[in-house]
Amino acid sequence: MKVLAILYRGAKAATAEPRLLGTVENQLGLRSWLSSLGHELVVSDDKEGPNSDFQKHIADAEVLITTPFHPGYLTADLMEKAKNLKICITAGVGSDHIDLNAAVKKNVEVLEVSGSNVTSVAEHVVMSILLLVRNFVPAHEMIERGDWQVSDIARNAFDLENKVIGTIGAGRIGYRVLQRLVPFDPKELLYYDYAPLPDAVAKSVNVRRVEDLKEFVSQCDVVTVNCPLHEGTHGLVNAELLSHFKKGSWLVNTARGAICDKDAVAQALKSGHLNGYAGDVWNVQPAPKDHIWRSMKNALGGGNGMVPHYSGTTLDAQARYAQGTRSILENYLTGKPQDPQNIIVGQGKYESKAYGQR
Amino acid sequence: MKVLAILYRGAKAATAEPRLLGTVENQLGLRSWLSSLGHELVVSDDKEGPNSDFQKHIADAEVLITTPFHPGYLTADLMEKAKNLKICITAGVGSDHIDLNAAVKKNVEVLEVSGSNVTSVAEHVVMSILLLVRNFVPAHEMIERGDWQVSDIARNAFDLENKVIGTIGAGRIGYRVLQRLVPFDPKELLYYDYAPLPDAVAKSVNVRRVEDLKEFVSQCDVVTVNCPLHEGTHGLVNAELLSHFKKGSWLVNTARGAICDKDAVAQALKSGHLNGYAGDVWNVQPAPKDHIWRSMKNALGGGNGMVPHYSGTTLDAQARYAQGTRSILENYLTGKPQDPQNIIVGQGKYESKAYGQR
C-alpha cells in the first residue's frame, strides 16, 4: 500500500524541534510504524504542477494525507487520475482543498481529525479580535522603530468590553470562541448559522441568533468567520455584504481565505469602512509575495493582523492531529469503524453537513 | 485656584479625534467647566527639568492632575516646593509617580480613578499572553516582509489551553485577568498576593494561592504582574527570581516597568530561559530610543510584545477617567466626601493598602 503525505517543509526547524510532527521531515511520526507494516510512505511538500511529487504519486497512492496549512489541492481532474485512491485524511480540520463532490462520485472517503485543533483556532480568533480592537500592531511597530507617541495609538484603541461580537458559524470553533468571549463582558454575542444552536447551548454563552446575514453584520462591532468553505460560503463576505457592516468594525477570519473577497476587504479597510482585518487564511497558500492582504492598512496605518496559516498547527495541535491521523489509518487498515465526527465523506456519500449539504 | 495638569501631547491626533480626552489639547474636557467657576487651568506635557512647565507651575498649584502614561514625577523635593498643593489626582490607576510618603508628611491628598481602566488593562494582559504563547509577532512580521515558512512560526507556537498561569497580585486587575482566562481551560490558575482572596472569590475563578514567590513562579508556564509599584515590589522580578522561573516560560507585565529588572529580563530572554516578555510599562516613560526592551528577542528572534504605555488609555478608558477626574474635583470643590476606593492618601495618612502599607 502506498501512502502519500503532502506536508509543509520544516527545514532546520524540524531538526531542532522534533515536536514539529506535521512537517516533511518528521512525517507525522508515521514512518517507522508504516514501514514495520510493510507499507510505502511518500512524503513531500512539492505539490504544484504536473511534475510535482503530489501529481506523480497520486496516480497509485491508496491513502492521501494532506493538511490545510500547505494544502495539496485534490481537484476533480486529479481525482480521475488517482486510480488506487481509497481514503483522504486531513491532518487537521477543513477539507475544502479536496473536491468533495468528486470524492463522493469516485467512492473515496474523506476524513479529518475533527477535534484536533478547534481550540487552537478559537484561541487565535480571540487573540486576533483583541489585537485589532486594542490596536496592538502599530503600537508594537512604534516601539520597534524607537518612537513613543501614545496619542497616535490611543486614538484608535478600544476595549472589547461592551462591544457587539458576532460569529458566522457557531460550530465547534465558533462556539469555543463564544465561550472565551463571555467574561470580556461584550454588549451582546450574536451568531449566524444555517442551524440554530440547541437552547441550552445558546444559553450557556448567552448568544442570540440573527437569521438574516445583512442584519447580522449590521449589528456587529466585531465579526468573526468560523464556517467551512464550500460553494455556499465562497466569497460570502464580498463588497455587497461589507457595505452592510458597521462603519469602523473589525473582521477576523481564521476559517478559509476564499470566504472573504480579497480585494473588497482591502478596499473596505482602505476606505475606513473596516477598521481592521486579521486572520491566518488566504485564498491561495502559500500566499504570493504581492498578496494585498500582506500590506493592506486602514487609514491610520494599522488594522492588519495577518499571519501565515498556522493557528491550527501549534506544537500542541500537531501532537493531537498526528495522533488522530494515525488512529484513522489504524481504523482503515484493520477495518474498524471510524469516529463518526471525523467522517466528511463516507462510502459514496456525505456524512457531514458542514460542507454545505443541507 | 490653579489646577495644573500634566498630560501627554495628542498633536494632530487630538484634533482629529475629540475622544482623545486625556491629551494636552483636549484637557480631560475640564477647560470650560473650570473657567466658568473662575479657576485657572494650566495644561502641559513639559515635565522634565527645573525649567519645565511642571516644575514652574507646581510652585503655586493647588491641584495637580497627572496620568501614568506620561507621568509627572512628583518627588519629595518637588513636594517641598509645592507650597499651595492640596490634592493630586491621577487620571487613571497607579500613583507611584507621586512620592506618597512625602504626600502623607505634607498633608497632600492623593486620589486616583480606581475603576477607570482596570478592565482595559486586564484585556491587554490576556491579549499579551495569547500573542506570546501563540508566537504572533514573528508570524505577522513574516507576512509583512513577504515570506511564508509555517514551520519557523509553528516551532515556537503553543496553545494557552492546559498551561499553568499565575498572577502576581490578585487585586482589581489581577482578578479580572483570571476571570477572562477561565474559559481557556488552563491546567491551573495560581496567584501570589500578600492577602488571600476570600474563599468565594477564589472559587469563582478556581485559583490557588501559592505563598512563596519562588515556588509560585517555578510552577507557572505564564506569569503576569498585576501589583502596584512600591518599595516592596521595586525590582521584584530580578535575576535571582527569574532563575526560579520555568525554562521557556512567558512573562507579561502591564503593572509598572520598575517591578522587573530591565537587564535581567533581557538576559533571560536572550538565554532562552524566558520565551517571551510583553507589556506596556517601562522603568522610565517615554522610554529612551535605545531601551533594551524595544529590541530584545528570544533565541528564535521572537518573544517581544512590547508597546508604549497605552493599555489603560483606550478611548473607552479615557471617557471613564476624564469623568472620574471631574467627579473627584467636584467633590474637592464642594467639600463632599470622596469615593473611598479612590483615596490613596487621605488627610495625612494612607487609606489604601495597595502601596505596600500592611
* Mean pLDDT computed over B290-302: 97
Say if B268 is an interface residue toward chain A (CB within 8 Å): no
CA distance A270 to B121: 29
Confidence of residue B251 (pLDDT cuts 50, 70, 90): very high
Do the Cβ atoms of B164 and B222 come closer than 8 Å?
yes
- Asked if A134's CB is within 8 angstroms of B130's CB, the reply is no
Instruction: State residue A357's pLDDT score.
Output: 64
Residue B69 has pLDDT above 70, yes or no: yes
Q: Quick: pLDDT tens for B145-196.
A: 999 999 999 999 999 999 999 999 999 999 999 999 999 999 999 999 999 9
B234 given a catalytic annotation: no
**Least trusted range by pLDDT, from A277-291, B210-224, B268-282, B343-357:** B343-357
In this structure, is the dihedral angle defined by the CA atoms of residues B335, B337, B341 and B344, taken in order, positive or negative? positive
Task: Show which of residues 27-46 on chain B sit within 8 Å of chain A, judged by CB atoms.
Answer: none
Which of B25, B45, B136, B142 to mutate against chain A (most A CBs within 10 Å)? B136
* Mean pLDDT computed over B95-121: 95
The partner residue sitting opposite B148, judged by closest CB among A22, A149, A308, is A308
B285 given a catalytic annotation: yes
Say if A116 is an interface residue toward chain B (CB within 8 Å): no
Supply the mean pLDDT for chain B.
Answer: 96
Say if A180 is an interface residue toward chain B (CB within 8 Å): yes
Name the maximum alpha-carbon separation found in chain A. 65
Q: Cα separations (Å) of B356 from A4, B72, B89?
A: 63, 21, 19
> Which chain A residues touch B142 with a CB distance below 8 Å?
307-308
- Asked if A17's CB is within 8 angstroms of B308's CB, the reply is no
Instruction: State residue B206's pLDDT score.
Output: 98
Say if A201 is an interface residue toward chain B (CB within 8 Å): no
Instruction: State residue A355's pLDDT score.
Output: 76
Closest chain A residue to B288 measured between Cα atoms? A146
Instruction: State residue B357's pLDDT score.
Output: 64
Peptide bond into B286 cis (omega under 30): yes
Do the Cβ atoms of A95 and A88 come closer than 8 Å?
yes
Minimal CA separation from A187 to chain B, in Å:
14
> Which chain B residues touch A126 with a CB distance below 8 Å?
130
* Per annotation, catalytic residue among A117, A135, A226, A275: A117
- Asked if A123's CB is within 8 angstroms of B160's CB, the reply is yes
0.80 cut: is pTM over it? Answer: yes
Closest chain A residue to B309 measured between Cα atoms? A150
Region for B53 from its dihedrals, namely left if φ exceeds 0, alpha if ψ lies in -120 to 50, beta otherwise: alpha
Instruction: Determine what percent of chain B is predicted with pLDDT higher than 90.
Output: 96
Q: Cα separations (Å) of B251 from A129, A248, A312, B22, B300?
A: 21, 32, 23, 29, 17
> Which chain B residues touch A146 with a CB distance below 8 Å?
289-290, 294
Q: Which three cell numbers stand for residue B274?
A: 524566558
Q: Cα separations (Å) of B83 from B73, B79, B108, B331?
A: 17, 8, 10, 22
Q: Would you call B178 helix, strand, or coil by DSSP?
A: helix
B117 given a catalytic annotation: yes
* Per annotation, catalytic residue among B285, B298, B304, B342: B285
CA distance A183 to B181: 8
Say if B289 is an interface residue toward chain A (CB within 8 Å): yes
A176 given a catalytic annotation: no
- Determine the angle formed by the axes of helices A118-133 and A136-144, rounding to 10 degrees: 70
Confidence of residue B274 (pLDDT cuts 50, 70, 90): very high
Residue B354 has pLDDT above 90, yes or no: no
- Asked if A149's CB is within 8 angstroms of B316's CB, the reply is no
Instruction: State residue A350's pLDDT score.
Output: 87
Closest chain B residue to A146 measured between Cα atoms? B289
Task: Show which of residues 128-167 on chain A sit within 8 Å of chain B, judged by CB atoms.
Answer: 130-131, 134, 136-137, 139-140, 142-144, 146, 148-162
> Which chain A residues touch B151 with a CB distance below 8 Å?
8-11, 13-14, 20, 23
Which of A66, A124, A136 to mutate against chain B (most B CBs within 10 Å)? A136
Instruction: State residue A192's pLDDT score.
Output: 98
Please report, in tens digits, the pLDDT of each residue of chain A (358 residues total).
999 999 999 999 999 999 999 999 999 999 999 999 999 999 999 999 999 999 999 999 999 999 999 999 999 999 999 999 999 999 999 999 999 999 999 999 999 999 899 999 999 999 999 999 999 999 999 999 999 999 999 999 999 999 999 999 999 999 999 999 999 999 999 999 999 999 999 999 999 999 999 999 999 999 999 999 999 999 999 999 999 999 999 999 999 999 999 999 999 999 999 999 999 999 999 999 999 999 999 999 999 999 999 999 999 999 999 999 999 999 999 999 999 999 999 988 888 877 766 4
Q: Where are the alpha helices (DSSP H) in A145-274?
A: 150-154, 172-181, 199-205, 213-219, 239-242, 262-271
- Asked if B144's CB is within 8 angstroms of A294's CB, the reply is yes
* Mean pLDDT computed over B124-147: 98
Q: Quick: pLDDT tens for A140-164.
A: 999 999 999 999 999 999 999 999 9
Closest chain A residue to B304 measured between Cα atoms? A140
Instruction: State residue A122's pLDDT score.
Output: 98
Task: Show which of residues 204-263 on chain B sit within 8 Å of chain A, judged by CB atoms.
Answer: none
Strands, DSSP E only, in chain A? 2-6, 40-44, 63-66, 87-90, 109-112, 164-168, 188-192, 207-209, 222-225, 249-253, 274-279, 304-306, 343-345
Do the Cβ atoms of B109 and B48 come closer than 8 Å?
no
Minimal CA separation from A80 to chain B, in Å:
30
- Asked if B315's CB is within 8 angstroms of A154's CB, the reply is yes
Minimal CA separation from A265 to chain B, in Å:
17
Strands, DSSP E only, in B24-91? 40-44, 63-66, 87-90
- Asked if A155's CB is within 8 angstroms of B20's CB, the reply is yes
Which of B148, B150, B162 to mutate against chain A (most A CBs within 10 Å)? B150
Q: Cα separations (Å) of B160 from B132, B169, B181, B192?
A: 10, 20, 9, 20
